Amino acid sequence: MSLKNHFPLIEKKQSVFGLDIGRHEVKFVQLKSTRHGEKLVGLGSIPLSGETVIEGIIAEPEALADTIIEGLAHPARGHINSRVAIIGLPQAHLFSRIINIPAVRHDKLKDAVLWEAQQYIPMPISDLYTDHEIVKTTKDETGVIRELEIVLVAAPRAIVDSYIKLCQFSHIQPRAMEVSLNANIRALHPRVEERTATLMIDAGSVTTDMAIITDYIQVTTTVNIGGDSFTDSIVKRLKITTDQAEEIKLKFGVTQSDLQSKILEAVSPHITRLSNEIAKLIKYYEERSKSTTPIKVSQVMITGGGSRMPGLAHIISQKTQLPVDISSPWDKQKTSGGQDLPKNLGPIYTTAYGLAMRGWN
């Protein structure tokens, strides 16, 4: 994001860590770049109360800062010796889309992008931080650039400013802030063959973020279904506590068990809605791509805490008729120092891992 007043004007090479602030947890990862790949320096997580983050805004940054300082001092693995962070911003509360505008002079580009942004974003531009990047140019028969394809990202100032306050209270220097989906792409490094696309699903606790990716993010959407939705439905159907439902969800999910029929009955409405949203996103993208070069979605990558529910990936594969990979940064990157980490922890740390990678790449 364009926040020059808050970041140093001269960038220095220094260790960084990735900081991912979710609804129920803060995750952090520090990496070191080596000749053989990434080396895990340290990682950890801190539980949050339900009122810490409200609609993407950190409600009590000073109290959260104390918690983060304590967590960074006592990580679950290794150590966090940096206080320079790449920070993830919540996709569900951002505005991100591809826009096309006529080619303009460089000094007029920002104004042209902001004018176009007003057509799509249901908030005053003055209430947003915006950033953009040219990802494609279209030339006429004489080789003159006539049209620009631009990735536009806008974040509410209230959200970003609350993160800056958190950094001030916790004595963290924010090197950059980034959309969480971008960090996931960096961490998972999807390999896509020419003229195909990947659907990436980040299944969080409250929402599920989705993006279709070629060499950059093409379209995104957020569905108000997450791991908590499944847990709450299991609580109601089985008449058990939230902790018991969470344990059953992660142990059995929708796979074969004595409880399978009851669990399926409880979570099927959420799975159906999620599947419908996936189908709509794929159809929208593939229809839109017909006007240029037809591109088909060829695979699905699912990550995040919600991806750990056994059987969910299989059902999504059945619904989409596409291969689905439960994706973890430990599997996609050559990471030394993380081999003995429990496999099911990987998807939880995908965003924080990708943010940490930005510090070196």
Supply the mean pLDDT for the chain: 89
Please say if the pLDDT value at position 20 is more than 50.
yes
Domain 190-329: homologous superfamily in CATH: ATPase, nucleotide binding domain (3.30.420.40)
- Choosing among 3.30.70.890, 3.40.50.1370, 3.30.420.40, 3.10.20.600, the CATH entry for 12-92+158-186+333-358 is 3.30.420.40
Between 61 and 12, the more confident residue is: 61
Please say if the pLDDT value at position 336 is more than 80.
no
CA 175 to the chain's CA centroid? 18
Beta bridge partners of 220: 211
In angstroms, the CA 232 to CA 253 distance is 13
The pTM score is 0.89
Q: What is the mean pLDDT of residues 228-253?
A: 96
The confidence score (pLDDT) of residue 12 equals 54
Q: How confident is the model at residue 51 (pLDDT cuts 50, 70, 90)?
A: confident
Domains 12-92+158-186+333-358 and 190-329 share a fold: yes
The confidence score (pLDDT) of residue 259 equals 92
Q: At what angle do helices 227-238 and 242-251 cross, to 10 degrees?
A: 110
The confidence score (pLDDT) of residue 73 equals 96
The confidence score (pLDDT) of residue 4 equals 46
Residues 29 and 87: beta-carbon distance below 8 Å: no
The confidence score (pLDDT) of residue 339 equals 61
Between 333 and 197, the more confident residue is: 197
Cβ within 8 Å of residue 243, ≥6 positions away: none
Q: How confident is the model at residue 36 (pLDDT cuts 50, 70, 90)?
A: confident
Please say if the pLDDT value at position 141 is more than 80.
yes
Q: At what angle do helices 260-289 and 312-320 cross, to 10 degrees?
A: 40
Residues 180 and 174: beta-carbon distance below 8 Å: no
Q: How confident is the model at residue 328 (pLDDT cuts 50, 70, 90)?
A: confident
In angstroms, the CA 29 to CA 44 distance is 7
The confidence score (pLDDT) of residue 235 equals 97
Q: Domains of the chain: which residue ranges? A: 12-92+158-186+333-358, 94-157, 190-329
Please say if the pLDDT value at position 3 is more than 60.
no
The confidence score (pLDDT) of residue 13 equals 56
Q: How confident is the model at residue 140 (pLDDT cuts 50, 70, 90)?
A: confident
Please say if the pLDDT value at position 185 is more than 60.
yes
CATH code of the region 94-157: 3.30.1490.300
Q: How confident is the model at residue 192 (pLDDT cuts 50, 70, 90)?
A: low
Question: How distant, in Å, are the alpha carbons of 90, 209, 346 from that of 200?
Answer: 16, 8, 16
Q: What is the mean pLDDT of residues 237-258?
A: 95
- Is residue 160 within a helix (H) or strand (E), and if so which, with residue range? helix 157-170
The confidence score (pLDDT) of residue 9 equals 45
Q: pLDDT per residue over 158-184, tens digit each?
A: 999 999 999 999 999 999 999 999 999
Please say if the pLDDT value at position 125 is more than 60.
yes
Q: How confident is the model at residue 120 (pLDDT cuts 50, 70, 90)?
A: confident
Please say if the pLDDT value at position 8 is more than 80.
no
Cβ within 8 Å of residue 340, ≥6 positions away: none
Q: pLDDT per residue over 78-115, tens digit each?
A: 999 999 999 999 999 999 888 889 998 989 999 999 99
167 token code pair: 């950094």
Residues 117 and 125: beta-carbon distance below 8 Å: yes
Q: What residue ranges in the chain does DSSP mark as E strands?
A: 17-21, 25-34, 37-47, 53-54, 57-58, 77-78, 84-89, 95-102, 128-139, 145-156, 173-179, 196-203, 208-213, 217-223, 296-303, 324-326, 335-336
The confidence score (pLDDT) of residue 344 equals 77
